Amino acid sequence: MSPPSIGEKPRYSALRLFLEGLRGQKGWGPAWRSPEPKRRYDAIIIGGGGHGLSAAYHLARDHGLTDVLVIEKAWLGGGNTGRNTTIIRSNYFNRASQAVYDASLKLYEGLSRELNYNIMFSQRGSIELAHSAAEMEGLRRVVNAMQVNGIEASLLTRDEVLDMVPLLDPRRDCRWPVAGAMIQRRAGVARHDAVAWGYARAADGMGVDIVQNCAVSGFRIEGGRVTGVETPFGLIEAKVFGMAVAGASPELAALAGFRLPLLCMTLQAMVSEPLKPCLDQVVASTPNGAYVSQSDKGELVIGGGLEHLPSFARRGGLAKTREVVASVVEMFPSFSTLKLMRQWGGTVDTSPDNSPILGPSPVPNLFLNCGWGTGGFKAIPIGGKLLAHLMATGRHHPLSEPFGLERFATGRLIDEAHAGVAHD
Ligand code: FAD
Ligand code: PYC
């Protein structure tokens, strides 16, 4: 059986997998092309992370715009998309945020099938712990706010939590006693690289060009509009541009002549040596500043809060690593014997209200998708869809309307500082 040509939906997948196994997996072709870019496109997206690739996919699929180029400085998904701890949930406080994140969660639920690419979405539930009656009251407010808007979430008693997560320290007099929790059962984790690769393959299949190792180093602006971007291949022109570059957003904005209200900081994560399955949910404690889940390989995937220093170093500091490990071990004493295997960081673009920026930039045909900070992996499906809508129509989709840049002037902020462990 010959390998499917690029973009062709592989049929007979199980048979193909079996046959490839017999011949040592030698028949797989690249999942997307690596074309030399043309001089001119209808649309250019800067940034080949999840949001940029999802936007390219939606431009082609939802709007029939296939003369599209994605330009990536390094490798696809090598930014925060490939560095995050993959938590997908929609337990946010404001109605506008809940609408965006829950639309994204729903898209994730069908994504493996839609892209014909296994993103390994595991809806194992996300538990947010409370350690006191006052913290329980805070969680009750979030659960109420979600239920009012028709989004599933519920409270767990102390006994229910300890039943579900037996490795938590059950003592009432320990440093972080369990008082109860909030659970969103539809929440979970997915394979981050697969999300980027799945979107890349699907977009490529519809004719989108993807170019890696190609940094945008400048904008050509004529008559107040962007007409092209400077790249190692020279100037590449287009009618409309989208920017989805996360931690590089302030730098790119400066090249286009405007400023963004974003601070870039390091968020780190780490994994332990692999263990037999022992933790069935994602467990987070915002008060304690740590969270943990178990990967399919068995490693504990651990993270904590931001390093509150502006930085572009994609490596967390030892002080924060220690703090996070201590927090996890205080909650799960039996994890204290584990070895830490790897630690890394990503540059996250945090906005003043911990909500993303989606909308037109001050340059009319350049549209923004940024400011997701510590929480944008869960939003990749919807973030791309909303950027594509902006680029194709020049107008907001109703879901992105509240997230425009102008909210920092009007004061209509969407405060999500307490929407999770790394969100403040
Ligand atoms: P990126 O994936 O960073 O993609 C941007 C791309 O733009 C990069 O590939 C970069 O190389 C490229 N680029 C930059 N400059 C240029 C240029 N000049 N020219 C061309 N290309 C350029 N979110 C969650 O929802 N759940 C989590 O559990 C979670 N955990 C996290 C844990 C850590 C440690 C980190 C760092 C982040 C975490 N996040 C989480 C946040 C999430 O990873 C990001 O919000 C999300 O991945 C952003 O996706 P993106 O596509 O916008 O950015
Ligand atoms: O968005 O759920 C999240 C998250 C947890 C840690 C970092 N981001």
Pair type for strands 366-370 and 240-243: parallel
How deeply is 393 buried, as exposed, middle or buried, from its count of CB atoms within 10 A (0-12, 13-18, 19+)?
exposed
How deeply is 18 buried, as exposed, middle or buried, from its count of CB atoms within 10 A (0-12, 13-18, 19+)?
exposed
pLDDT at residue 3, as a whole number? 43
What is the whole-number distance in angstroms between the Cα of residue 3 and the centre of ligand 1? 32
What is the whole-number distance in angstroms between the Cα of residue 166 and the centre of ligand 1? 33
What is the whole-number distance in angstroms between the Cα of residue 187 and the centre of ligand 1? 20
pLDDT at residue 9, as a whole number? 53
From the CA of 316, the nearest ligand is 1
What is the whole-number distance in angstroms between the Cα of residue 48 and the centre of ligand 1? 9
Mean confidence (pLDDT) of the chain: 95
Report whether residue 422 contacts ligand 2, using a CB cutoff of 6 Å: yes
Residues near 391 by beta carbon (within 8 Å), at least 6 away in sequence: 43, 45, 55, 59, 65, 240, 241, 242, 367
Tell me how far apart the alpha carbons of residues 378 and 387 are, in angstroms, rounded to a whole number: 15
What is the whole-number distance in angstroms between the Cα of residue 223 and the centre of ligand 1? 32
Q: Is the dihedral of CA 66, 390, 265, 216 positive or negative?
A: positive
Backbone angles phi, psi at 307, to 5 degrees: -90, 110
Backbone angles phi, psi at 149, to 5 degrees: -95, 15
Tell me how far apart the alpha carbons of residues 366 and 218 are, in angstroms, rounded to a whole number: 13
From the CA of 348, the nearest ligand is 1
Report whether residue 250 contacts ligand 1, using a CB cutoff of 6 Å: no
Residue nearest to atom 6 of ligand 2 (CA): 422
Report whether residue 80 contacts ligand 1, using a CB cutoff of 6 Å: yes
Which stretches of the chain score pLDDT less than 70? 1-12
pLDDT at residue 162, as a whole number? 98
pLDDT tens string 127-171? 999 999 999 999 999 999 999 999 999 999 999 999 999 999 999
- Which atom of ligand 2 approaches the CA of 126 most closely? 2
User: What are the beta bridge partners of residue 369?
Assistant: 358
pLDDT at residue 12, as a whole number? 56
The radius of gyration of the chain's CA atoms, rounded to the nearest angstrom, is 22
Domains of the chain: 1-30 (no CATH), 31-118+191-260+353-410 (3.50.50.60), 126-189+264-350 (3.30.9.10)
Say what the pTM is: 0.96
pLDDT at residue 269, as a whole number? 98
